[in-house]
């Protein structure tokens, strides 16, 4: 509150004042740009053939707009996320495991944790999820 008399700018929420100002400027810019465009552009509505087709680049659009995505990536992404999260858990463990009173117990606990996750990838491997067919 020091050095400020405006209740909106001071205090905890005051640090958001810049963000609010930026949002306001953005809105004004958006409004002005589109408003000017609307005022200045020539308006000659016409409906030639193909104007409302999907593309206007000279090619006839072929087929539907539903495309097939390759589902096989999903399993890899999934396994990656699994091990990425696991490694996050390894960091705090790595900092404390060599302290007195921790030692072997902590190492074994982490081994169990990693082992359980390794079980998952072992299962995926045996079920031939990892082979790219």
Partner 1 sequence: MSDLQLPHINYAALAPMLILFGAACAGILIEAFVPRERRYPVQLGLSLAGVVAAGVAVITQAGTRTITAGGAIAVDGPTVFLQGAILALGLVALLFVGERSLEAGGPFVAQAALIAGSEPDRRQVVRPGATEVYPLMLFAIGGMELFVAANDLLTMFVALEVFSLPLYLMCALARRRRLLSQEAALKYFLLGSYSSGFFLFGIALIYGFAGRVDFAGIHAAALGSDRSNALLYGGLALLSIGLLFKAAAAPFHVWTPDVYQGAPTPVTGFMAACTKVAAFGALLRVLYVAFDRVSWDYRPVLGVVAILTMLVGAVFAVTQTDLKRLLAYSSIANAGYLLVGVLAMSKDGLSSSMFYLVAYGFTVLAAFGTLTLVRDADGEANHLSRWAGLGRRSPVFAAAFTFLLLAFAGIPLTSGFTSKFAVFAAALDDGQTWLVVAGVITSMVLAFPYLRVVVMMWLSEPAESTPTVSIPGVLTSTGLAIGVAATLVLGLVPAPLLDLSTKAAEFVR
Out of 41, 44, 51, 127, the residue judged to bind partner 1 by CB under 8 A: 127
Choose between 38 and 128: whose C-beta lies nearer to partner 1. Answer: 128
CA atoms within 13 A on the CB side of 93: 16
Q: Least distance in Å: CB of 67 to partner 1?
A: 17
Element (H, E) at 105: helix 103-126
Query: CB under 8 Å to 65, separation ≥6 — which residues?
Result: 54
Measured distance between the N- and C-terminal CA atoms of the chain, rounded to whole angstroms: 65
Binders of partner 1 among 97-116, rule CB under 8 A?
A: 99, 101-102, 105-106, 116
Q: Please tell me whether residue 123 binds partner 1 under the rule CB under 8 A.
A: yes
Q: Where are the alpha helices (DSSP H) in the chain?
A: 17-40, 72-96, 103-126
Q: Please tell me whether residue 25 binds partner 1 under the rule CB under 8 A.
A: no
Choose between 25 and 75: whose C-beta lies nearer to partner 1. Answer: 75
Instruction: Please give the residue ranges that form the binding site for partner 1 (CB under 8 A).
Output: 96, 99, 101-102, 105-106, 116, 119-120, 122-123, 125-127
């Amino acid at each position: 509150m020091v050095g400020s008399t405006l209740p909106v700018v001071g205090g905890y929420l005051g640090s958001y004042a810049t963000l609010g100002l930026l949002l306001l400027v953005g809105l004004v810019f958006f409004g002005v740009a589109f408003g000017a465009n609307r005022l200045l552009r020539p308006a000659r509505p016409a409906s030639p053939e193909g104007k409302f087709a999907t593309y206007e680049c000279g090619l006839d659009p072929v087929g539907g707009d539903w495309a097939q995505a390759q589902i096989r990536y999903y399993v890899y992404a999934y396994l990656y996320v699994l091990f990425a999260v696991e490694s996050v858990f390894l960091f705090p463990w790595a900092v404390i495991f060599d302290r007195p009173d921790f030692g072997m117990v902590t190492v074994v606990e982490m081994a169990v944790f990693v082992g359980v996750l390794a079980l998952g990838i072992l299962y995926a491997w045996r079920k031939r999820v990892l082979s790219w067919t």
